């Protein structure tokens, strides 16, 4: 087993961190373009993308713990992006109904996924 010096180890970690950040950003852009949401699990085509990134791009073996961390992190990133997109759509829908941001009615509308009928 080869022991790496601290500067070399830091360089490897930095490169992996940069690659991982770039991959996460690519997935976020893909999620923005697709507009597809999921709850907890990724859709089949995204599952394949996550697997590809973690195995082929990051070079991880599916039996390794690092692979599990990679897939979990990417799935959480996708879930966060999807949730942010959903909230943006709901806010836009409520604004289109004439509700003003910062008001109680607007907040109730957004919480109701943009479909709550507000009664005065």
Query: Does 71 or 19 have the greater pLDDT score?
Result: 71
pTM over 0.85: no
Q: Is the pLDDT of residue 65 over 90?
A: yes
Element spanning 57, H or E: none
E strands along the chain, which residues? Answer: none
The proportion of the chain whose per-residue pLDDT surpasses 90, expressed as a percent, equals: 36
pLDDT at 31 over 90: no
Q: Which of 49, 97, 44 is nearest to 89 (CA)?
A: 97
């Amino acid at each position: 087993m080869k022991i790496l010096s601290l500067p070399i180890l830091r360089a490897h970690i930095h490169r992996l961190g940069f690659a991982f950040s770039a991959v996460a950003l690519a997935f976020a852009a893909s999620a923005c373009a697709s507009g597809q949401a999921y709850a907890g699990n990724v859709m089949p085509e995204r599952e394949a993308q996550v697997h590809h990134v973690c195995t082929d791009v990051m070079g991880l073996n599916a039996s390794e713990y690092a692979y599990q961390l990679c897939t979990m992190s990417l799935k959480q990133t996708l879930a966060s992006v999807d949730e942010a997109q959903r909230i943006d759509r709901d806010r836009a829908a409520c604004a289109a109904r004439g509700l003003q941001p910062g008001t109680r009615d607007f907040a109730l509308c957004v919480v109701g996924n943009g479909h709550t009928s507000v009664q005065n």
